[in-house]
Amino acid sequence: MTENQISVKTREKRTVLIVDDETINREILGMLLSSDYDVLYAENGREAMEKILEYSETLSLVLLDLLMPEVSGMEVLKEMKETPAISKIPVIVMTADYDSEVVSLDLGALDFISKPYPPQNVILARIRRIIELSEDRQIIRQTERDGLTGLYNLDYFYNYAEKFEQYHKNVDMDAIVVDINHFHIINERYGKAYAERVLRAVASKLREYAGSLGGIVCRKEGDTFMIYCPHTDDLSPMLDAASDELEGDEATQGRVHLRMGIYPSVDKTVGIEQRFDRAKAASDSVSGNYARNVGVYDKELYEKELFAEQLAEEFDRAVDECQFSVFFQPKFDVRGDEPSLSSAEALVRWNHPKLGFISPGVFIPVFENNGMIQKLDRYVWRKAAEQVKRWKSEFGVTVPVSVNVSRIDIFDPEIVSVFESILKENGLSAGELVLEITESAYSDDEEFLISTVNSLRDMGFRVEMDDFGTGYSSLGMLTRLPIDALKLDMIFIRNAFSDNGDMRMIELIIDIAKYLGVPVIAEGVETAEQVATLKEKGCDIIQGFYFSKPVPPSDFDAFVAKKTAV
């Protein structure tokens, strides 16, 4: 028995409502119960409904006479069943008519007491048993359900899915994931109460639709729903049904969109969690795609998954065999007449013995997903610090190096001490390393993020917000989060300098940086024209192929040598 159950069972007196039109019956029952229970009375069905609604929070049981003038006991039962707030309050019906028993049990009564009344101890035992039973059921219901939406929570969902499978071995099943696009923006822009209403609306539509197919639904976390149901060829009506209320919503004017990932006719030799990982991968494959909102797990995603698994398996050996190396790309300060080297960014490279060079764009997301990034990042941070130390001793100058810090690192309670020891090992101060945190890491647990960034800045680190413009942090968030620079994502440079280029995004971001009082760094800058325009618009620092690709440390020496020569 859990602590929760004990406290429920030892709670003070339960409240019981006796509904009977005959005064004598009310008095007999009242006398029987009053030493163990707080007793309420109602003389007819109408009064009963009033009391039930009034005491819905505390009422443990209703003893209901079936035969009453005006509103009958049957009608009370029916109404209770249809009113969610009181539908779970247990009812024992009291009747002399055996035929009505079956009907009332069908209507949701849990038990009956015949009239004339059986002996006192029989009545008391029945009442106690029904109250206990329904309280236990309620506790189970609470633990297996998500409080906000009433859907199953994850553990129970997997449990029921597996149970379903045991009894329906030959039924073809689909694993489905439904996500709300940019849910955190909805949260920010329209408020928590509105966002919760969206979650509840989507949940109830999904439950209704999946239920009609014989499926079950859970809310995994935040805005991710999972559905397991017998195979259907076309699931887009489910997505339409779930989007229904959102389209016509006045507040958001149809700006809230859902997307769906389907792993159809699941392979049952694959574990239940992995089936939903596949559906999730399908959903993510259409994330940010305005033309398509349904993704299907197919051969291409399967091959991607296999490749990711292979990379994950080889990771430890790759670290041991030093297959990873760190390249450096210069960042130039363009505020003066001549660009001058201001710092470098450390970028990891994987030189795979069989596959050759693998792009970080491929393996970083894999390692971010499975948590291995932490080990890789620490390795890169160490290498970067060693490099700063070497340049210092060989050239007598500090070229600060910025390292990438993943979302997982931020939520690692050891991050501060890891950096402390890296600095100590290399005799560096925190000003000699810079931390780049990608903007998409900013949306999670805001409080924790802010406190980690604060601790790192207190140590003396400068923190730059990487890939700015691709995540969805709000201005409000930016003003709460202390940062030292904004790194404009290269997508804006691409867009601005493409055929129908539009500089407005860049201008806007530069304005935001000015407002925050921090410099702007542009990355992915490839041409002299881009450098000139960005400089003119007010960009402070530039990184990109125009100056140099990321290069091995020995090639970077030339930049350091040039800096010292000035």
Partner interacting with residue 174 (select from ligand C2E, Mg ion, none; CB below 5-8 Å by kind): none
Q: Which is nearer to ligand C2E, 228 or 442 (CB)?
A: 442
- Paired strand residues for 488: 468, 522
**Interface positions, 373-432, toward ligand C2E (CB under 6 A):** 373, 377, 380, 404, 406
| Residues 328 and 556 sit within 8 Å (Cβ to Cβ) | yes
Residues 158-197, one symbol each (x = binds Mg ion by CB under 5 A, - = not), give: ----------------------------------------
Position 519 contacts ligand C2E (CB under 6 A):
no
Using the rule CB under 6 A, give the single segment among 125-133, 140-148, 360-368, 440-448 that binds ligand C2E.
360-368
DSSP classification of residue 551 = B
CA distance 52 to 63: 11
Position 466 contacts Mg ion (CB under 5 A):
yes
Provide the pairing of β-strand 520-522 with 356-358.
unpaired
Q: Which of 21, 223, 466, 540: binder of ligand C2E (CB under 6 A)?
A: 466
CA distance 161 to 245: 28
Partner interacting with residue 127 (select from ligand C2E, Mg ion, none; CB below 5-8 Å by kind): none
Comparing CA positions, the residue from 386, 382, 399, 378 lying closest to residue 329 is: 399
* Host H or E run for residue 13: none
| Residues 273 and 241 sit within 8 Å (Cβ to Cβ) | no
Partner interacting with residue 361 (select from ligand C2E, Mg ion, none; CB below 5-8 Å by kind): ligand C2E
Residues 430-459, one symbol each (x = binds ligand C2E by CB under 6 A, - = not), give: ------x-----------------------
Provide φ and ψ at 293, rounded to 5°. -120, 5
Q: Which of 174, 432, 464, 467: binder of ligand C2E (CB under 6 A)?
A: 467
Partner interacting with residue 296 (select from ligand C2E, Mg ion, none; CB below 5-8 Å by kind): none
Please report the beta strands in 297-407, taking only residues with DSSP state E, as ranges in sequence order: 324-333, 340-352, 356-358, 401-405
Position 523 contacts ligand C2E (CB under 6 A):
yes
Q: Which is nearer to ligand C2E, 491 or 561 (CB)?
A: 491
Position 467 contacts Mg ion (CB under 5 A):
yes
**What single string gives the DSSP state of each residue in 139-175?**
HHHHHHB-TTT-PBPHHHHHHHHHHHHHH-TT--EEE
Partner interacting with residue 72 (select from ligand C2E, Mg ion, none; CB below 5-8 Å by kind): none
Q: Which is nearer to Mg ion, 38 or 333 (CB)?
A: 333
Partner interacting with residue 314 (select from Mg ion, ligand C2E, none; CB below 5-8 Å by kind): none
Position 550 contacts ligand C2E (CB under 6 A):
yes
Please report how close the Cβ of residue 347 comes to ligand C2E at its closest, in angstroms. 4
Q: Which is nearer to ligand C2E, 95 or 406 (CB)?
A: 406
Query: What is the maximal distance between C-alpha atoms in the chain?
Result: 108
Sign of the torsion formed by the C-alpha atoms of 117, 122, 124 and 127: negative
Partner interacting with residue 348 (select from ligand C2E, Mg ion, none; CB below 5-8 Å by kind): ligand C2E
Give rounded-to-5 percent helix, strand, coil for the chain: 50, 20, 30
Using the rule CB under 5 A, give the single segment among 158-166, 465-473, 501-509, 512-520 that binds Mg ion.
465-473
Q: Would you call 418 exposed, middle or buried from its count of C-beta atoms within 10 A (0-12, 13-18, 19+)?
A: middle
Position 347 contacts ligand C2E (CB under 6 A):
yes
Partner interacting with residue 526 (select from ligand C2E, Mg ion, none; CB below 5-8 Å by kind): ligand C2E
Position 406 contacts Mg ion (CB under 5 A):
no
Q: Which of 174, 277, 436, 439: binder of Mg ion (CB under 5 A)?
A: 436
| Residues 64 and 92 sit within 8 Å (Cβ to Cβ) | yes
Comparing CA positions, the residue from 246, 274, 262 lying closest to residue 183 is: 246
Q: Which is nearer to Mg ion, 179 or 436 (CB)?
A: 436
CA distance 527 to 534: 11
Position 361 contacts ligand C2E (CB under 6 A):
yes
Position 222 contacts ligand C2E (CB under 6 A):
no
CA distance 332 to 172: 59
Q: How many residues bind Mg ion (CB under 5 A)?
A: 4
Question: Which 3-state string (H, E, C) describes 320-350?
Answer: HCCCEEEEEEEEEECCCCCCEEEEEEEEEEE
Using the rule CB under 5 A, give the single segment among 75-83, 365-373, 458-466, 527-535 that binds Mg ion.
458-466
Please report how close the Cβ of residue 404 comes to Mg ion at its closest, in angstroms. 5
* Host H or E run for residue 17: strand 15-19
Q: How many residues bind ligand C2E (CB under 6 A)?
A: 23
Cβ count within 10 A of residue 51: 19
Q: How far apart are the first and last CA of the chain?
A: 76
* Amino acid found at 455: S
| Residues 256 and 246 sit within 8 Å (Cβ to Cβ) | yes
Position 30 contacts ligand C2E (CB under 6 A):
no
Contacts to ligand C2E by CB under 6 A = 329, 347-348, 359-361, 364, 373, 377, 380, 404, 406, 436, 466-467, 523-526, 543-545, 550
Binding site for Mg ion (CB under 5 A): 404, 436, 466-467
